Amino acid sequence: MTPLSECVRLACLWEAESRKVGNVHPGASFANTTVEDFRRSAEAIAPVFADATTQPVGVTVRRAVEATQAAVGQNTNLGIILLLAPLAAVPRDVPLREGVKSLRTTIDDTREVYAAIRLANPGGLNDAAEQDVRDEPTVTLHEAMALAADRDLVARQYAQGFEVLFALGLPPLEDCLANFGCVEAGVIECQLAWLAMDPDSLIARKCGEEVAGYVRDRVRAMTLRHSGIRTLKGRAAGRALDAYLRSDGHRLNPGTTADLVTACLFVALREGILKPTDPFPWITDEWLPNG
């Protein structure tokens, strides 16, 4: 059984190392963020999650954000931490899919998470009509997330018991070794599956719902018409999409989707669907450059 902290560390590293469209990876950096920032962040938060089953969810979130700030001085992983904290809180002897549905949170969890969000100061954070993170909370963390579920995919996972994560995100990872012989291609397929389902929350906050919907529609066309990265035409469409997503600085970075992919990787590692020893790199000259 892979230790919980190693599941977190490796999920974060595999997501960061994979050549996903529009995101930071070894072959693509942003003006103020490189893959090394994500590597250091992964190493920083992993020890915090060793205690995730014995401490409140909110404490795990706050401690992990503090560790990230100490390591890299910027927000590289708030969405990841918010997703992993409830998943990691489920005891190892409890089935994860059912355990995370039945997990209960408190107002104290909300208070800790609000403090963590203020510390991370994520891009595109706007005022909320109810339970704004700058105010004193009066509801549980699950209730607060339900209020934001219509505009944020991370919050929606709490509201829906993480069911979509298991139903949509895991299949590409379960099939990746059989289909491609490596983990990285499965990570890319997982990203495309999420992007094809819903507009990315970070793109929507920064650029508006119309732009986020356009990105979703391009991915749907890529996956439906060309079978995604499984065909030459699909890989060419993916490279064109990547160029578009990088055409305006990093405003079109599908960052929320990257967080969801990391959560899927964590689940796959925790449940033994993937193992740390599985081959990772996708060896191909027909996709995005790797460094």
User: Where are the domains positioned within the chain?
Assistant: 4-270
CATH topology of domain 4-270: Triphosphoribosyl-dephospho-CoA protein (1.10.4200)
Q: What is the pLDDT of residue 131?
A: 57
Inter-residue contact 172 to 186 (CB < 8 Å): yes
**Partners of residue 28 on adjacent β-strands:** 25
What whole-number distance in Å separates Cα of residue 228 and Cα of residue 125? 32
Residue 233 phi, psi (nearest 5):
-65, -40
What is each CA distance from 210 to 29, 50, 194, 205, 251, in whole angstroms? 26, 41, 17, 11, 14
Q: What is the pLDDT of residue 143?
A: 96
Place of tokens 């409830």: 86
Tell me the CB-side half-sphere exposure of residue 222, using CA atoms within 13 A.
28
The DSSP element (H or E) to which 231 belongs, if any, is none
What whole-number distance in Å separates Cα of residue 63 and Cα of residue 88? 14
- The rounded average pLDDT for each run of 10 residues, N- to C-terminus, in the chain (291 residues) is 96 98 97 96 98 98 98 97 98 97 97 95 60 85 95 96 97 96 98 97 95 97 94 96 94 97 98 98 95 78
Inter-residue contact 21 to 238 (CB < 8 Å): yes
Residue 152 neighbours by CB distance under 10 Å: 20
Tell me the CB-side half-sphere exposure of residue 206, using CA atoms within 13 A.
16
What whole-number distance in Å separates Cα of residue 152 and Cα of residue 145? 9
Q: What is the pLDDT of residue 177?
A: 96
Continuous H helices in 198-272? 201-207, 209-226, 232-245, 255-270
Angle between helices 255-270 and 4-17 in degrees, nearest 10: 140
Q: What is the pLDDT of residue 122?
A: 81
Reduce the DSSP state of residue 28 to 3 states and report it. Answer: strand
Reduce the DSSP state of residue 30 to 3 states and report it. Answer: coil
Reduce the DSSP state of residue 25 to 3 states and report it. Answer: strand
Residue 37 neighbours by CB distance under 10 Å: 21
